Chains A and B, each alone.
Chain A
Amino acid sequence: MQIERKITLPKIGMSLVLLAMLFFTLMPIVFMISASFMTSRQILRMPFSWIPEGFAWENFTKAIQGNDQTYIFVRNISNSLIVSTTVAVTTVLIASLTGYGLAKFRFRGRTTIFMMIMATMMIPFEAIMIPLYMVIMMLRIQNSYVGLILPFLVSAFGVFQMKQYLTTFPTEFIDAARVDGMGEFGIYLRIVLPNCKPVIATLAILSFRSQWDNLLWPLLVSQSDKMKTIPQYISNFALERSTDEGAMMAAALLASIPMFLLFMSLTKYFIGGSAVYESRKG
């Protein structure tokens, strides 16, 4: 009896903490979903009731139509999709190419180049955005996809991840392909790339998400409504519809759907992807 009690009491405490945290993390998401079907009056009623009375579908039409009925939401979310996808693709391609070059070839300056690339991890984007903004102005590529994408073509972290992964890649495969007369670029494309799917998935997700969440750079680059991205859309919408909470939540929910779908289908890589940071300590 006594032993049982000794074990259960701390266990109850632990479960309570875990449950409280579960409530804290999920409550705002449930709130967003449920509030997106409510009228503003319902959302701010005291006490709050979680079940919507009927469905206020007009929230969603308002969210898509935008402040001035221009349906710019569609354009803005497409912009985000285009930018995020492009960045994911270029990051994977350039990082894997560089990682392969650094992991499997011996040439002079290899270590120095690797150290230099790693050193750029210490330069935060927030510290170089002003010079980058001046470059964009000079090249006159504000309000363009090129301007939105250019500073994020590849990441030092991506190069690091790829290099670590490819160092353990069996060299015999590569040598065998060489003996068969395959060209060096062909080896990269047909032997190396298809064999690092897990790390590609992780890296692609990380890069996609970092752009999907990026507000600061589009704020500098995109002044015209047509070239704005979805974080800017939400920000503007929340500002101009500040009294229409239902529509705000509908817009927030719509803007989150692509990431939710990605998360649902690739949970393993999301969770694994954050754990990859662990390898940095080694």
Chain B
Amino acid sequence: MGLKKYRGIERKQARWGFIFVVPSMLFFSLFSFYPIINAIYTSFFDKRALSKAPPKFLGLGNYIRLFDPARAASSLSFYNSLRATLVFTLGTFIPLLILSLMIAVFISNLSSNRTKKFLQISYYCPAILSSVVAATIWMIIFDPRGLGNQWINALLGTPGVDQGWLVDPVMEQVSTMVIYFWKYIGYFVILFITGLASIPPTIYEAATIDGATKWQVFWRITLPLLKPTVVLVSVMAMLQCLKTFSTQYMLYSNGAPRAPINVITFNIYVTGIQQQYLGRASAMSVVLFIMMLLLTLLQFKTTKSENVDY
């Protein structure tokens, strides 16, 4: 009898657990799973927002168009978007990774806790500003008469040269990278400091007693033990960079040429929302989704085999 009653209570509780989960299940079905399935479905059609006629089925037509070699030369092609995204991602995440790791190690080597905290907070400050504000500030710094030119020219000893920060195709890409790097450096420094703090100090003590130099300690102990954090941070940084939009949007809408910074997200926005080619934009979305999916799976695979126990 008692057992039966107990089971009844368990089942009642189980029902409550299920009820608590229902709102999230509804939300994620409607606003994550349904849209991604819809994006895949729409990518097979020639769907336009303004046309009343039922969209024409294209099969893989939208994808073939995106990857059509004949269009590769066109400056606003999807190939160019892939290139722009790749250049931006590599050009941003590699400096972010290396410098944030370096600075995190330097900060952990400081003796004063106050300085440590002050530096972390200061480096984090740009992350509080919204991307739009960040882009606005840098657009003025990158003005032909602005601070960017004044300092670069003072540094290189070339007075009066305009570097064309927002005009020259190469410099324009560099500018977006600088803005992004500036905004996220503090965030990644803090991630690495947390990772460093989780390495027990006894390991360092043992190494120092054995006569290891600081340099050796870094390459032989810190870096291998930090590998899970490094993998995590690099994948996170890459995923972030693949999704960049605001910086490019701001520079473009203030007159910078579009082709060099026409990253995938920006291309989706222009094609789908401004030009109303929803099918074509959906095909781009699916490509972006697959790229990010592969990266995330790679992260799971590497982190699973790399778990370290101290």
Q: Which residues of A contact B (CB under 8 A)?
A: 10, 14, 17-18, 21-22, 24-26, 28-29, 31-32, 35, 43-48, 94-95, 97-98, 100-102, 104-108, 110, 113, 116-117, 120-135, 137, 150-151, 153-154, 156, 159, 184-185, 188, 209, 212-213, 215-216, 219-220, 230-231, 234-235, 238-239, 242, 245, 248-249, 252, 255-256, 259-260, 263, 267, 270-271, 274-275, 277-278, 280-282
Contacts and interface: CB of A to CB of B under 8 A. Distances in A.
Contacts of B38: 128, 131, 134
Contact of A17 (B19, B102, B143): B102
Contacts of A101: 16-21
Contact of A274 (B14, B133, B190, B272): B190
B163 interface: no
Contact of B20 (A100, A151, A267, A277): A100
Main secondary structure of the interface of B (DSSP, over half): helix
A162 B81 CA distance: 37
11 contacts: A25-B126, A26-B125, A46-B145, A117-B24, A120-B28, A123-B32, A133-B272, A153-B27, A154-B23, A219-B273, A274-B124
Interface string B222-251: 000000110010001001001101100110
A108 B31 CA distance: 24
A248 B136 contact: yes
A123 B133 contact: no
A98 B24 contact: yes
A15 to B, nearest CB: 8
A182 to B, nearest CB: 12
Interface string B74-116: 0000000000000000000000000100110011010000000
B6 interface: no
A107 B15 contact: yes
Interface in B175-208: 182, 185-187, 190-191, 193-195, 198
B253 interface: yes
Contacts of B27: 94, 153-154
A177 to B, nearest CB: 13
B243 A31 contact: no
A42 B55 CA distance: 56
Given A14-B109, A126-B245, A213 B137 contact: no
Contact of B31 (A47, A151, A184, A281): A151
Contacts of A24: 182
A248 B195 CA distance: 39
A115 to B, nearest CB: 12
Contact of A270 (B25, B109, B124, B250): B124
4 nearest A-B pairs in the assembled complex, by CB-CB distance: A105-B17, A101-B20, A128-B35, A131-B35
Main secondary structure of the interface of A (DSSP, over half): helix
Contacts of A277: 191, 232, 236
Contact of A126 (B33, B138, B288): B288
Contact of B17 (A110, A133, A213): A110
B232 A280 contact: yes
A216 B140 contact: no
Interface centre among B16, B139, B182, B269 (most CB of A within 10 A): B16
B123 interface: yes
Contacts of B124: 270-271, 274
A100 B286 CA distance: 33
B282 A130 contact: yes
A252 B136 contact: yes
A28 B137 contact: yes
A25 B147 CA distance: 15
B24 A28 contact: no
Contacts of A124: 239, 242-243, 288-289, 292
B39 interface: yes
Contact of B13 (A43, A184, A281): A184
Contacts of B128: 209, 256, 259-260, 263, 270
A185 to B, nearest CB: 8
B15 A46 contact: no
A159 B13 CA distance: 20
B268 interface: yes
Contact of B126 (A28, A209, A282): A28
B20 A35 contact: no
B121 interface: yes
Given A126-B285, A249-B137, A137 B49 contact: yes
B253 A239 contact: yes
A125 B292 CA distance: 11
Contacts of B303: 281
A26 to B, nearest CB: 6
B49 A28 contact: no
A216 B250 CA distance: 11
Contact of B131 (A21, A98, A215): A215
Contacts of A123: 32, 35-36, 289
Contacts of B254: 238-239, 242
B216 interface: no
Given A26-B122, A94-B23, A133-B272, 6 more contacts: A25-B182, A101-B19, A116-B33, A127-B288, A131-B35, A278-B198
